[in-house]
């Protein structure tokens, strides 16, 4: 059986949580391979709503969850999340959650630096969550990160903190922010060691054995392709590679293990924070989409900007992300709209482009070119087969397939896990 990787095909918040939950019920192992607790998935199971940031979604279904080395891990955030879901009745512990022993850690100094730099940017702020994700990834690439395995070696930990503080305190001092003392950080990490180390292991070995045993593995992405640090709307991006290709490096498997790649996209578009958004709506329709779709960030609670479906951007995500098929979510939010628009390209300084340009000023100037379609009056909410959809809704989905050059393999028509139209079993390969 094939493995499956799930990534966002827009700017995140596409409803990956529900889709991953649906797929997790069919998987044996679920792996988070990038990002940190700046991303969130909302899972609705019966009458219970789970809001996850670090835990792989499979733990809700009693599956083995793995946090890969491509993640940056805030120890306090992880332990807090485990405690929260335990209070909701979930059994989470080292028996069903494993963490890569080489995963980099987010320390208290990382969010402090994150917030100080955002404040210094003023009106030019990027719109980070302030949770230290970027600075932690910088330390990883700068070869000064504290990793989970270091907690087992106090002398290594002490020496690494010296180098880390030399770097970070200089930056904090320059920004006029309080500096950090080594002993407090060292004591805090040593206190966390016995709580975290039972989860640690070389997860690449477990995943290699899973491959030999024919287990189904689901690679769970965070954020989305247009927030990828290389391929997104730079610098208004996250600090990791969000494309499916990073699932291999971020989990410790070969590229052939990734399997089928599903790209998640809403039937419209949303974005949280700063950055270009060519199809953004500032009118009553935009407000209506936000209210109907309950568009608030899972982690931050920030209201999401709303706009029309951008097929040019999703096509770009399909090509860059290696997407084999789309999962279209929140189709029901469009119910009752008389007219729908799809962005099919951009006009920049008089030139017509079918892709979003890389340069900042060009992105800011990009004017959407729209294709207009009739909407539908009947409800799509809760539909579980194409036969239950209005003809115009089917036409809208088919047109999206043509424009993004990828088939829609699954369609979500409500937050409920079972309100899903599956045209193909992704694990069938």
- List residues with catalytic annotation: 13, 41
- Residue 194: left if φ>0, alpha if ψ -120 to 50, beta else—which one? alpha
Cα(201)–Cα(354) distance, rounded to whole angstroms? 45
As a whole number of angstroms, the distance between CA 423 and CA 345 comes to 28
Whether 345 and 354 have beta carbons less than 8 Å apart is answered as yes
Which residue in this structure is represented by tokens 């770009």? 316
Q: What is the DSSP code (8-state) at residue 83?
A: H
Distance of CA 237 to the CA centre of its chain: 12
Distance, in Å, from the CA atom of 176 to the CA atom of 160, rounded to the nearest integer, reads: 24
Q: How many whole angstroms separate alpha carbon 115 and alpha carbon 120?
A: 9
Burial readout 4-13 (b: 16 or more C-beta within 10 A, e: otherwise): bbbbbbbbbb
Contact criterion met (CB below 8 Å) for 342 and 313: no
In 3-108, which ranges are continuous DSSP H helix? 16-24, 75-87
**Does residue 79 sit in helix, strand or coil?**
helix
């Amino acid at each position: 059986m094939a493995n499956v990787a799930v990534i966002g095909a827009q700017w995140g918040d596409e409803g990956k949580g529900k889709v991953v939950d649906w797929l997790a019920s069919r998987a044996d192992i679920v792996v988070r391979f990038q990002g940190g607790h700046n991303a969130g998935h909302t899972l609705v199971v019966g009458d219970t709503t789970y809001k996850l940031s670090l835990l792989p979604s499979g733990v809700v279904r009693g599956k083995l969850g793995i946090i890969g080395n491509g993640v940056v891990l805030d120890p306090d955030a992880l332990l807090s999340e485990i405690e929260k879901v335990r209070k909701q009745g979930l059994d989470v512990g080292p028996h069903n959650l494993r963490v890569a022993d080489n995963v980099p850690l987010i320390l208290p100094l990382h969010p402090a630096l994150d917030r100080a730099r955002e404040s210094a940017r003023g009106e030019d702020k990027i719109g980070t969550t302030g949770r230290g994700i970027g600075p932690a990834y910088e330390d990883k690439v700068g070869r000064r990160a504290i990793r989970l395995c270091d907690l087992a070696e106090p002398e290594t930990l002490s020496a690494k903190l010296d180098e880390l503080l030399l770097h970070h305190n200089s930056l904090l001092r320059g920004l006029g922010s309080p500096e950090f003392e080594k002993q407090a950080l060292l004591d805090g990490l040593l206190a966390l060691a016995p709580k975290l180390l039972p989860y640690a292991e070389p997860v690449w070995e477990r995943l290699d054995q899973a491959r030999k045993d024919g287990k189904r593995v689901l690679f769970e992405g965070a954020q989305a392709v247009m927030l990828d640090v290389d391929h997104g709307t730079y610098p208004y991006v996250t600090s990791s590679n969000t494309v499916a290709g990073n699932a291999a490096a971020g989990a410790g498997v070969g590229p052939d293990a990734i399997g089928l790649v599903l790209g998640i996209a809403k039937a419209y578009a949303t974005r949280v924070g700063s950055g270009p958004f060519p199809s953004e709506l500032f009118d009553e329709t935009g407000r209506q989409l936000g209210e109907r779709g309950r568009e608030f960030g899972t982690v931050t609670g920030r209201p999401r900007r709303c706009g029309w479906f951008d097929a040019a951007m999703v096509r770009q995500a399909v090509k860059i992300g290696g997407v084999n098929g789309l999962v279209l979510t929140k189709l029901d939010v469009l119910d009752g709209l008389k007219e729908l628009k799809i962005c099919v390209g951009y006009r920049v300084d008089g030139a017509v482009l079918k892709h979003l340009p890389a340069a900042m000023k060009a992105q800011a100037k990009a004017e959407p070119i729209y294709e207009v379609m009739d909407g539908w009056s009947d409800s799509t909410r809760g539909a579980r087969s194409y036969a239950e959809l209005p003809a115009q809704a089917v036409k809208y989905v088919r047109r999206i397939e043509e424009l993004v050059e990828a088939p829609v393999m699954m369609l979500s028509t409500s937050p409920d896990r079972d309100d899903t139209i599956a045209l193909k079993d992704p694990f069938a390969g």
